[in-house]
């Protein structure tokens, strides 16, 4: 709704369709998560990956053009509204796609004891930046998340290839 009232409403019905597409893909993504929770055939390493972008990350990514708009980086004309619509549709498709993305659920098991304090410090810094510079920080988080997707794909493929090699050999 926020994206629609911010810029997609300039596209009238098409903007509304894109906003609904995002909401529907979020619901489908959440449904997939609930169905995939109890998969007994899933290898242990697969717990470190989501299939598609998770709904909260997808919602944050969809808002990225609005964050940029609040910082004055965008032109708010009809052409930009069409560009935002294409971007939001791509994010919606990413949520329901089979693209593997890092989940972070298993990160806590791999943090060495001497790294706990620096990680807590970085977390506190991220919270302070989020409070002090919300739009800039959310923009950086969104761009970093998008940048991590190719690494997630590569890591997933490596794990899958190792599994195939182990089961074949």
Q: Mean per-residue pLDDT for 1-12?
A: 86
Greater pLDDT, 153 or 34: 153
Report in angstroms the alpha-carbon separations of 25 from 32, 56, 161. 10, 12, 29
Per-residue pLDDT at 109: 66
Q: Would you state the structure tokens that stand for residue 127, as one six-digit string?
A: 């919270």
Tokens representing 35 are 């169905």
E strand map for the chain: 49-51, 100-102
Q: Is the pLDDT of residue 169 over 70?
A: no
Q: Percentage of residues in the chain with pLDDT exceeding 70?
A: 93
Mapping DSSP to helix (H, G, I), strand (E, B) and coil, where does residue 139 land? helix
- Per the CB < 8 A criterion, the answer to whether 141 and 57 are in contact is no
Q: What is the pLDDT of residues 32-62, one digit of tens each?
A: 887 776 667 777 777 778 888 999 999 999 9
Residues in Cβ contact with 93 at an 8 Å cutoff, skipping those fewer than 6 apart: 25
Residues 6+ apart with CB under 8 A from 114: none
pLDDT at position 107 over 70: no
Higher pLDDT, residue 14 or 6:
14
Q: pLDDT tens across 18-27, in order? A: 999 999 999 9
pLDDT exceeds 70 at position 147: yes
Residue 97 CA to its chain's centroid (Å): 12
């Amino acid at each position: 709704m926020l994206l629609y009232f911010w810029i997609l409403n300039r596209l009238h019905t098409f903007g509304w369709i894109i906003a609904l597409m995002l909401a529907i893909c979020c619901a489908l993504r959440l449904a997939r998560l609930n169905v995939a929770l109890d998969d007994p055939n899933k290898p242990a390493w697969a717990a470190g990956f989501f299939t598609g972008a998770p709904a909260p990350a997808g919602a944050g990514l969809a808002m990225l053009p609005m964050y940029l708009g609040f910082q004055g980086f965008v032109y708010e004309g009809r052409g930009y509204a069409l560009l935002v619509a294409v971007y939001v549709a791509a994010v919606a498709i990413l949520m329901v796609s089979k693209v593997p993305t890092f989940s972070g659920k298993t990160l806590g098991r791999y943090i060495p004891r001497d790294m706990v304090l620096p990680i807590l410090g970085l977390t506190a810094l991220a919270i302070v930046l989020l409070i002090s510079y919300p739009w800039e920080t959310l923009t950086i988080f969104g761009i970093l998340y998008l940048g991590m997707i190719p690494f997630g794909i590569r890591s997933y493929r490596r794990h899958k290839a190792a599994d195939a090699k182990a089961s074949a050999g």
